[in-house]
Amino acid sequence: MHGTGLGVSLEDHDEMGVYVEHPASTIGLGKKEHYTTRTAADGQKSQAGDTDLMLYSVRKWAKLAMNGNPSVLLLLFAPDDKVIKISELGHELRGHYDWFSSKRAGRAFLGYMEKQRQRMVGQRGRAGRVRITDDCSACDGDGSIFGDGTPCGKCLGSGKHVDWKYAMHMLRLGYQGVEYLSTGRLTLPVPGEQGDWLREVRQGHVDFAEVVAVAESLEAQVKRLLDDESGTLTALPDEPNVRRIEQWVVHAHLKTWGYE
């Protein structure tokens, strides 16, 4: 959906959906806020051709979306050809994406990408955390090409290959955070030169120092948008339209249960 994949044959398949809970799990004693199903075996990482399905109750999804969770917001902007099944309520929800657009969401984008960058460069946990793999080919795992303590430019001294997919998603969050704060929408898949460059990053064709520099630049852009109080850079409100969202969630339940 992001448009940053390297081809269907090389990718696993992620699906997400929203459902209205049964009365027993909504106003009764039980609760079922989400379901997860995977085609990969338990404990195994999803491989090319595998499908991971995440289903959220409409209440759970709405809370996550109001807080700006970048993943759940995708449902509001997914291209029609990526929508597998949609109900009348689904069309209603996608038609009111503006209820969720706010600076609160922008702060979530910023938080996610900052944490990912910090992990990549070792400011949060060890460099790369679990996002590094085998020894760097440029320095043979030494961390320094010349052996004089100067950090290798390819791995920034970690001695390991960078997880380029992780790095690409860090940058994607930055681009999408800027777009969301500027327009209140997300363009999917990531368009044009941005999408092309993100795929270059994912394949390890961009120097890691450049990747980090761009990430820092995107963070600065998001912060400027969040700090804008004049409305010249962003017209988004500070908070989502909680009242309208709550009214719609109640409506969705009553309609599904046959009370409307």
Which tops the pLDDT comparison, 149 or 93? 93
- 54 in Cβ contact with 16 (< 8 Å): yes
Q: What is the pLDDT of residue 34?
A: 78
User: Which has the minimum average pLDDT: 85-89, 207-211, 247-251?
Assistant: 207-211
Q: What is the pLDDT of residue 16?
A: 93
Global pTM reads: 0.82
- 112 in Cβ contact with 173 (< 8 Å): yes
Q: What is the pLDDT of residue 37?
A: 80
State percent of the chain over pLDDT 90.
Answer: 55
- 161 in Cβ contact with 133 (< 8 Å): yes
Phi, psi for 34 (deg, rounded to 5): -165, 160
200 pLDDT exceeds 80?
Answer: yes
Distance CA 202, CA 162 (A): 10
For tokens 């060890």, name the residue. Answer: 126
From the list 177, 161, 165, the residue with the least C-alpha distance to 201 is 165
194 pLDDT exceeds 80?
Answer: yes
131 pLDDT exceeds 70?
Answer: no
Distance CA 134, CA 226 (A): 38
* Residue 50: Cβ within 10 Å count: 16
Q: What is the pLDDT of residue 42?
A: 74
For tokens 């806020």, name the residue. Answer: 33
The H-or-E segment that residue 179 falls in is helix 164-183
Q: What is the pLDDT of residue 147?
A: 61
The H-or-E segment that residue 18 falls in is strand 13-19
Question: Cis peptide before 189, with omega less than 30 degrees from 0?
Answer: yes
pLDDT one-digit tens code per residue, 61-82 = 999 999 999 999 999 999 999 9
Q: What is the pLDDT of residue 237?
A: 95
Residue 81, C-beta contacts closer than 8 angstroms, at least 6 positions apart: none
